[in-house]
Amino acid sequence: MSAPASASAPAAPLAVRRYRAEPAWVPWVFLAPFLLTFGVFLIWPLVQSVVLACQQTFGPKSTAWVGFANFSFLLHDPLFWKAVRNTALFAAGSVFLQLPVSLGLALLLNRPGLRGRTIFRLIFFAPSLVGLVFVGLLFSLIFAPRTGLVNTVLNDFFPAFDPEFPWLQVYVMPALILAALWLYAGFNMVYFLAALQGVPEELMEAAALDGAGAWHRFRHIVLPEILPVGTFVVLMSLLGSLQLFELPYILLNGPGADNRGLTIVMYLYDNGFVTGDLGYASAVGWVLALVMGSFAFAQRWFNKRQEES
Amino acid sequence: MSLTNAQRQKLLLFPVYVALTAAGIFTLIPFAWLVCAAFKTNADIFAFNFLPLGDGFLGVDWGRLTLLNFFRLFRELGIGVALTNSIFLAATSALLATFCCSLAGYALAKFRFAGRGLVMSLVLAALVVPGSLLLAPGYKLLYDLGLLNSFAGLILPGLTPAFGVFLFRQAMVNAVPATLIESARIDGAGEFRIYFTIVLPLVRPMIGAYLMITFLGTWNNFIGPQIVLQDPQSFPLSVAINQLRGLYGTDYGLIMSGTLVSIAPVLALFLLLQKEFIAGLTSGAVKG
């Protein structure tokens, strides 16, 4: 590129030939793609979404100013509250079922002297490579009446079991949580495993020699060590759960019977892209962003308090 | 009573193996069911849970397995086009995002300049903006720019994700020694040459990991192409297979073979790059 003129100038004595400072434009050229996409595809849509949230639109072309009507309609729409309830149920299922399973698998895999750790980790992690769409399709057939795996196996073991039992109409949320467990348990496990490998082994051995039981060692040595990663994983699965859309949308082929699989983002999608009201969808987006922001804030506050104590 | 320490250790590990194996089997069953269903006729999917039983090797009637579902997918339903679209979109997005993110990460990690702190806080701010908030205004923007129903409308917004910039910045702060860059400058190397020949080779594991992360993310993305693309000829697998379900909902063999075609390539890619991939995933969280 640009050959440095000063460095090769014969007049410069060797002793003072310091390293050439890079030209000031260099970092800005390197940052240009980021700054451009940041401005065009993040800042601009964010500004737009504030304006849109106060409008009613019919597709991207025609708009009408409605002020805060979107928000007041939203907060009075029973369907929105149903979506909130479903999403919260799913998030609770993720945190209270999925994460203990993930941590349990990580603790098992972290046992000293265990063979085949790599292959087990590979197996547990594999489902998280499968996209939500494909997991949705796969489990929609696994839970299908008559031919689905669940019903045929149950029918083989218990001939009295009705092979036509419609799981996806009766147990919507459990089916969703189970599919998500299959998908994400190994993914979160990888984080816990990485954190567990940071727990000093000498400390564990010393505690064991002092007669500390397994629970005490976990509570007083392991848990404090993995807590920062733990709260990070809790936050990630909370934020992910709050944005749940594709899994129920594909698994149930829509919001499901009696809207029991309707989530906040599915509500946003239906209003914005099926009905065509991008303004209302933006209002939903802002409410969701506020909720997510407060969770992220809570995690930071919790971590700070932990560090201080 | 007379057990040695090593024997005791082994005995204690036995229940661990049992638990891990049980969990492993549960994890693999959906995959096994998917693969078996993809190679069976619909009558056999109903008749047998996994492989069709018979007198063949291992008690399986191998002759009943069929490639019919795949023939129908590629010959009649043209799923090859969707496969090509998925490969093109995922590969292009992964290469461009890796290039642009590593450039920006390098600038933030190794250059001192006025405004660096500001750019860094922009990166961190961008990390916390939820994607679903951008759906509606992003759609309107693509409409205004005339990018709806084009691959550019999918690729450009993901050109430089803040997450990638952050990952590369973290990787480069420690992995790239400043003295190496300085001596290259003294030797007269241009800035881009330094970046390509010195900086990039030093963060190779991160490049592998990030290529994989973006490839996977684009391959599995459904809502993006579902909103942006309208022409069925441009659909990637995620949207195309879901359309297939709408049209041939009860044809399980067809849908399962389509799903298998959609996930087999990424599983294969993962097997090749798994070590870097997992290291890259956790690097942001554990040693950030």
**Closest chain A C-alpha to B56 CA, distance in angstroms:** 23
Look at residue A104 and tell me whether its pLDDT is greater than 50. yes
Distance between CA B148 and CA B96 in Å, rounded? 20
Give the helix/strand (H/E) hosting A205.
helix A201-209
Element (H, E) at A58: strand A55-58
> Residue B91: how many CA atoms within 13 Å on its side-chain side?
8
State yes or no: pLDDT of A17 exceeds 50. Answer: no
Looking at the DSSP bridge assignments, the partners of residue A275 are none
pLDDT at B288: 36
pLDDT tens figures, B194-253 = 999 999 999 888 898 899 889 999 999 999 999 999 999 999 999 999 998 888 877 888
Same domain, A106 and A202: yes
Contact residues on chain A for B220, CB-CB shorter than 8 A: 130-134
Q: Are residues A167 and A285 in the same domain?
A: yes
Q: What is the pLDDT of residues A202-259, one digit of tens each?
A: 888 888 888 888 888 888 888 888 888 888 899 889 989 999 999 999 999 889 888 9
For residue A58, being part of any structural domain is answered with no
Q: Mark whether A196 and A294 lie in a shared domain.
A: yes
Looking at residue B240, what is its pLDDT?
A: 94
Distance, CA of B226 to CA of B213 (rounded, Å): 21
Residue B148 to residues A270, B114, B230, Cα–Cα distance (Å): 19, 38, 8
Band (pLDDT 50/70/90 cuts) for residue A40 is very high
A35 & A87 share domain: no
Residues A23 and A95 in one domain: no
Residue A213 lies in a domain: yes
Residues 102-121 of A with CB under 8 A from B: 105, 108-109, 111, 113-114, 120-121
Q: What is the ipTM of this complex?
A: 0.89
CB A177 within 8 A of CB A90: yes
Nearest C-alpha of chain A: how many angstroms from B57?
A: 24
Q: Across the interface, do B263 and A131 touch by the CB < 8 Å criterion?
A: yes
Which DSSP state fits B222?
-
What's chain B's length in residues?
Answer: 288
pLDDT, residue A2, reads 43
Token couple for A96: 């209270």
CA–CA dist B176, B174 (Å, integer): 6
CA distance B82 to A50: 36
The amino acid sitting at A201 is E
Q: Supply the pLDDT for residue B52.
A: 76
Tell me which residues of chain B, numbers 69 to 88, contact chain A at a CB-CB cutoff of 8 Å. Answer: none
Q: Which secondary structure element, helix H or strand E, spans residue B275, and what is its range?
A: helix B252-286
Taking the C-alpha atoms of residue B154 and residue B136, their distance in angstroms, rounded to an integer, is 14
Closest to B167 measured CA to CA, from B95, B90, B100, B266: B100
- Whether A28 and A120 share a structural domain: no
Q: What is the pLDDT, as a whole number, of residue A21?
A: 63
- What residues make up the domain containing A40? 5-52
The proportion of chain A whose per-residue pLDDT surpasses 70, expressed as a percent, equals: 93
List of domains in chain B: 5-66 (no CATH), 74-286 (1.10.3720.10)
Q: 0.80 cut: is pTM over it?
A: yes
Residue of A137, A182, A192 to mutate for B, most B C-beta atoms under 10 A = A137
Question: What backbone phi and psi angles, to 5 degrees, belong to A63?
Answer: -135, 155
Q: Based on the structure, what is the number of domains in chain A?
A: 2
- Same domain for A239 and A106? yes
Which span out of A34-38, A147-151, B272-276 was modeled with the highest average pLDDT? A34-38
Strand A55-58 and strand A62-65: pairing? antiparallel
Q: Is A62 on the interface with B (CB under 8 A)?
A: no
Mean pLDDT of chain B: 88
Q: Is residue A90 part of a domain?
A: yes
Nearest to A20 among B186, B220, B266 (CB): B186
Q: What is the mean pLDDT of residues A152-174?
A: 88
Q: Is a pLDDT exceeding 50 seen at residue B169?
A: yes
Nearest CA to A247 out of A7, A103, A86, A42 is that of A86
Which of A29, A41, A118, A119 best tests the B interface by mutation, with the highest count of B CBs <10 A? A41
Contact in structure between A132 and B35 (CB atoms under 8 Å)? no
| DSSP symbols for A74-132 | HHH-HHHHHHHHHHHHHHHHIIIIIHHHHHHHHHHHT-TT-S-HHHHHHHHHGGGGS-H
Other beta carbons within 10 Å of B254 = 26
Question: Which chain A residues contact residue B29 at CB under 8 A?
Answer: 149
The answer, yes or no, to whether residue A3 has pLDDT greater than 50, is no
Is residue A301 classed exposed, middle or buried when 0-12, 13-18 and 19+ CB atoms within 10 A define those classes? Answer: exposed
Q: Residue A281's pLDDT band (boundaries 50, 70, 90)?
A: very high
Asked if residue A237 is part of any domain, the answer here is yes
Average pLDDT (B161-180) is 90
Token pair belonging to B64: 């009943």
Contact A55, A45 (CB under 8 A): no
Mean pLDDT of chain A: 87
Longest Cα pair distance anywhere in chain A, in angstroms? Answer: 98
Inter-chain contact B30–A132, Cβ cutoff 8 Å?
Answer: no
CATH number at residue A279: 1.10.3720.10
Residues A16 and A111 occupy one common structural domain: no
On whether residue A300 sits in a domain, the answer given is: yes
Would you call A144 an interface residue with chain B, using a CB distance cutoff of 8 Å? yes
Tell me, yes or no, whether A151 and A22 share the same domain. Answer: no
Residue A250 lies in a domain: yes
- Give the SS3 label for residue A62: strand
CB-CB neighbours of B126 under 10 Å: 21
- Closest C-alpha among B102, B107, B119 to residue B164: B102
* A266 in Cβ contact with A248 (< 8 Å): yes
Written as six digits, the tokens of A264 are: 């906040």
Kindly state whether residues A80 and A109 are assigned to the same domain.
Answer: yes
User: According to the model, what pLDDT value does residue B272 have?
Assistant: 80
| Average pLDDT, integer, range B135-160 | 95
Check residue B283 and give its pLDDT: 66
Q: Which of A19-28, A41-50, A118-127, B127-136 has the lowest mean pLDDT?
A: A19-28
Window B:98-157, CB contacts with A under 8 Å: 100-101, 103-104, 106-108, 111, 113, 116, 119, 122-123, 126, 128-141, 143-144, 156-157
Helical ranges in B111-222 per DSSP H: 116-127, 135-145, 151-155, 162-175, 178-186, 191-194, 200-202, 204-220
Residues A239 and A300 in one domain: yes
- pLDDT band with cut points at 50, 70 and 90 for residue B13: confident
Q: What is the pLDDT of residue A300?
A: 83
How many other CB atoms are found less than 10 A from the CB of residue B181? 21
Cα(A35)–Cα(B108) distance, rounded to whole angstroms?
12
Structure tokens given for A303: 């971590």
Task: Looking at the complex, report in whole angstroms how far the Cα of residue A184 sits from the nearest Cα belonging to chain B.
Answer: 11
A·B CB contacts under 8 A: 267
Please tell me the distance in Å from B61's CA to the nearest CA on chain A. 20
For A31, the closest chain B residue by CA position comes to B104
A45 and A80 housed in the same domain: no
B51 or B166, greater pLDDT: B166
What is d(CA A113, CA B10) in angstroms, rounded to the nearest whole number? Answer: 8
Q: Is the pLDDT of residue A7 over 60?
A: no
